[in-house]
Amino acid sequence: MAMKIPFFQHKQLKESFADPEENIPAHIAIIMDGNGRWAGERGMPRAAGHKEGLSALVKIVKAAAECKVKVLTLYAFSTENWKRPTAEIEFILKLPQTFLNIYLPDLIRNNVRVTAIGDVESLPAYTQKALQQAIDRTKHNDGLQLTIALNYGSRGEILHAVKEILADLDAANMSLEELNEQSFSKYLYTAGTTAPDLLIRTGGEKRLSNFLLWQLAYTEFWFTDVLWPDFSEKEFMEAVGEYQQRKRRYGGI
């Protein structure tokens, strides 16, 4: 039997970083794309690509923690993904249970806090149970915040926020004058979390796919043709290294 590799190995930062301590993005969001194509190129079922993608996830969570990133948000399953074959959906929605069953003790020991965004209540009971257990057991940790976006769609999130705001206006819990960008953000799934500084998308596509549309207004984007199962610490650190060279002006000079 192969020996289980520790989740965290505390490697040194790679030379691709301009400065290991300067301008590290506090919040990185990732669209993990390319699992199915990775499997198809190898004549394997799509489930094999999702399984291999889980290995990439482990590497990147570890790399983010070692780089002192504060929040890592991973797009794991979108509201549009329900259009896929039933067997593939079931496999994907069991992956959080698989990942957390194996690595939750390591996440706890290394001060990682697990959270989730999306319509979690509509997910299968086994997915909800695994997520809630991880959330409950890591809620007091104050290291890397690992946010898993499951059954998430940004348009649905915004509509949900609007409905909540209308309900509060109707109940006189807030006034129209109080509604601004800051107060609106408090009704989103991501309330209390800063907007992403860097978005990474793997797999060669260059679109947002209904992911964090409100939150990504001033985020820096980094795209790669590398399919998610092949995405390694090297590519992750290349993305962070390029981010370090960018100047964010937020509409100013």
Binding residues, as ranges, are 33-38, 46, 50, 78-80, 82, 84, 201, 207-209, 220
Catalytic-residue membership of 151:
no
Burial class, 222, CB count within 10 angstroms (exposed 0-12 / middle 13-18 / buried 19+): buried
Residues annotated within the binding site for substrate are 34-38, 46, 50, 78-80, 82, 84, 201, 207-209
Please indicate whether residue 197 is annotated as part of the active site: no
Binding site for Mg(2+): which residues? 33, 220
The residue among 33, 150, 34 whose CA lies nearest residue 96 is 150
Beta bridge partners of 147: 73, 115
The active-site residue out of 33, 110, 151, 197 is 33
Give the whole-angstrom CA distance, residue 25 versus residue 195. Answer: 11
Q: Measured between alpha carbons, how far is residue 163 from residues 81, 156, 166, 191, 215 in Å? A: 24, 11, 5, 16, 18
> Cα separation of 120 and 108, whole Å?
22
Catalytic residue among 19, 81, 110, 170: 81
Looking at the DSSP assignment, which residues form a beta bridge with residue 150? 77
| Residues with a known catalytic role | 33, 81
